[in-house]
Structure 1
């Protein structure tokens, strides 16, 4: 059994009595516990992957739900609109009119106020296609979607950005003919594919991390390459047509695996967060690992550091606060071997300014962290409770204390 922070434990116990109604009632009553520790979903397996702050001060949260009571028991898109205190205003599940899986992995509010979600959808051939799902002006009842892909192979969308010309770029993965994975870019106007790019080595896995646009033109993304039995962080940049500018792999040549999961732009370059094995054994414990580079991808000897813990930990998302300070979220394992949501505030020299853990029995994981307009952190992820997983949101102050 894992141990909660004391305040979190009391809040969770109170909220568990509210959970079944939250999943089934579209007009969810606000939680009155007082702390911004919110669980969305109920009697199904629900997972949170992305959160954005809305213009009205509230939040949109997206992810997936496994609706076991439906014909075919497929996975559907799950979207929540919450107020500034995290109380659900509405929740919606979208199965897009068929019995095939749909999963939402990233979300933005575009220049026109639409909520646009990127993910993937399984088709009748049992492969997956990139999915873009839109809520016009954030209206949960005014939706549309489009898919892109080769029906013979898997394509999945994980990151989404809007370009300066009003179109959209999705970053994700594409299956190769060798049944391995390449990194994948797709530009679209939400109707047609304007261009596609596939990056990787035919006989190796190239795993995605995250993606961004720099100065409205240059594209930058991180991921993980697998070469000669070793996995290393890679950073790639391209122009706004997806043509390569440079690609750098941070190879220590020591047989230890590193994984790039999230990249963020700073005033001086880029910062990548992920994880690093402690030994050459791929099953060894991992630590949160952060790499800093300049805009040319050059990293100095003091620009790489781990955030050590007693047990394995990994970062899934990083946000820059400025002045060389970052917030990260992911997971940290406990002595029992299961996962807690992990949040840390660190400097670019590797100093941990504050950290926090949230969770109970079972695996819990932070997937996305943002820095909110009021100067705090909001983390979205999943927790395991009442025999199933639930979408979870935690709001913290700048020193990682839970807030009301």
Structure 2
């Protein structure tokens, strides 16, 4: 899991056209190394700082050795516009729990998505599904828990992104490793939930190699756009779980097997339909509001191209990342030296 060291958070404002001045600085203190995952602007224009920390022993609510807090916890700090702390919260399991992504909900609360190595105990209400799981916690604007859910299988899963959709439900994006129902060493796993956390559908995406989701953004039609780093070739024999529309757009088809997970109403698989241009490519997939694949596209040259971000524009999307490819594949611009940033605008 990628993590950033959290030292001081600096928020700057443009006070003059000639430059910027520091308005305030804030050091979020801890006795251990902390990891920052996200800074989220709240509905009331304040800030929610989310990451992972190890609590001081005196703060741990453990009552027994079976419920002892033995690792990193979800760590949340809400700051006002002056950088003053409004509240601080920890959500703890009995092992390592890393908070990966946060989304502000339309009612002013938040949905937290992280990777959990914990079983049932302390703040975690569900047993482990096996290995690492995805741990979701819905909270209100004050940090009070509304509901929580553990997503997983006998394989290892990690959370990477979460969005709220126009119907007030959620898409959760993560990765799953070495799944017997997957396509390669690592695949992408998408779960769609309603506003109360009920699972509506699941989708596994992948090729014959390693595929990792890096970014997910909501689209205006209630769906989602996925940006994935792919080191995979196409899957030539996709089996019953995939069909081709004949127009170059391949759709996911519901299947009755799946990931050995009992709760979702619909479990689908979607295999990559094109091989990479090089070592690593940008792999873009558009999902509709029901979590079905509308289209996919690969972008890359002969080298290693790693997508990092997506943005919605008035006419489409912008995708960006790092490129080590010269002009090749479907990459129409070269590189100066080593690694360059590579941006693509899509309609």
* TM-score bracket, shorter-length normalisation: 0.5 to 0.7
Matches within 5 A, 1:141-160: 141-150=84-93, 152-160=94-102
Residues in 1 aligned to 2:4 and 2:214: alpha-carbon distance in whole angstroms: 20
Show the counterpart of 1:194: 146
2:43 matched residue in structure 1: 111
Q: Secondary structure at the match of 1:89?
A: strand
- What is the aligned partner in structure 2 of residue 239 from structure 1? 194
- Closer/same/farther in 2, CA of residues 128 and 250 from structure 1, 3 Å limit: same
Is 1:260 aligned to residue 191 of structure 2?
A: no
Match of 1:270 in 2: 224
After superposition, the Cα gap between the structure-2 partners of 1:83 and 1:216, relative to the gap in structure 1 and judged at 3 Å, is farther
Within 5 Å, give how 1:17-56 maps onto structure 2. none
For the pair 1:293 / 2:284, whether they are aligned, the reply is no
Q: CA deviation at 1:133?
A: 1.2
Instruction: Name the structure 2 match of 1:342.
Output: 341
Whether the aligned pair in 1 keeps the contact of 2:10 and 2:22 (CA below 8 Å) is no
Larger deviation, residues 117-126 vs 312-321: 117-126
Structure 2 CA distance, aligned partners of 1:241 and 1:164?
13
Partner of 1:174: 116
CA contact (8 A) 1:76 1:103 kept: no
* 2:11 counterpart of 1:83: no
Aligned-pair Cα RMSD in Å: 3.2
* 1:202-230 C-alpha deviation (Å, 9 max, x unpaired): 3x121222111112621112222221353
- Number of positions where the alignment pairs a residue of Structure 1 with one of Structure 2: 267
Asked whether 1:206 is paired with 2:157, we answer yes
Per-residue deviation, 1:192: 3.0
**Counterpart in the other structure of 1:330:** 321
Query: How big is the shift at 1:273?
Result: 0.2
CA distance in 1, matches of 2:82, 2:341: 33
1:248-286: CA deviation from partner (whole Å, max 9, x where unpaired):
11244xx23221121122234321001111559xxx821
Alignment correspondent of 1:130: 74
The two structures have a TM-score, normalised by structure 2, of 0.67
Q: Secondary structure at the match of 2:7?
A: strand
Q: Distance in 2 between matches of 1:176 and 1:140?
A: 32
- For 1:119 and 1:174, how far apart are their aligned partners in 2? 13
For structure 2, which runs of at least 5 residues remain unmatched after alignment? 57-68, 120-127, 235-277, 327-334
Match of 1:312 in 2: 304
Question: Hey, what's the Cα distance between the residues in 2 that align with 1:291 and 1:234?
Answer: 13
Does residue 1:140 correspond to 2:91, yes or no?
Answer: no
Q: TM-score, normalised by structure 1?
A: 0.58
Corresponding residue for residue 390 of structure 1? none
* Distance of aligned partners of 1:298 and 1:279 in 2 relative to their CA distance in 1, 3 Å threshold: closer
Specify the SS of the correspondent of 1:83: strand
Q: Which has the higher contact order (CA 8 A, sep 6+)?
A: 1
Instruction: Mark the CA change 1:91 to 1:312 in structure 2 (over 3 Å): closer, same or farther.
Output: farther
Change (3 A) 1:163 1:95: closer
Mapping for residues 63-102 of structure 1, pairs under 5 Å? 65=5, 75-83=6-14, 87-90=20-23, 92-96=25-29, 98-102=30-34
Q: Note if 1:120 corresponds to 2:37.
A: no
Counterparts of 2:231 and 2:21 in 1: how far apart (Å)?
39
Q: In the superposition, relative to structure 1, how do residues 164 and 270 fare at CA in structure 2: closer, same or farther (>3 Å)?
A: closer
- Superposed displacement of residue 243, structure 1: 1.4
Structure 1 residues not aligned, in runs of 5+: 1-48, 50-62, 66-74, 349-404
Deviations 1:130-153 (A, max 9, x none): 1111111x2124453211111x21
Deviation at 1:174, TM superposition (A): 1.0
**Cα distance in 1 between the residues matched to 2:215 and 2:100:** 11
CA–CA distance in structure 1, aligned partners of residues 32 and 86 of structure 2: 18
Q: Distance in 2 between matches of 1:115 and 1:247?
A: 31
Q: C-alpha deviations, 1:64-90, integer Å up to 9, x for none?
A: 55xxxxxxxxx5353332428773524
8 Å contact kept, 2:77–2:89? yes
Deviation at 1:320, TM superposition (A): 1.4
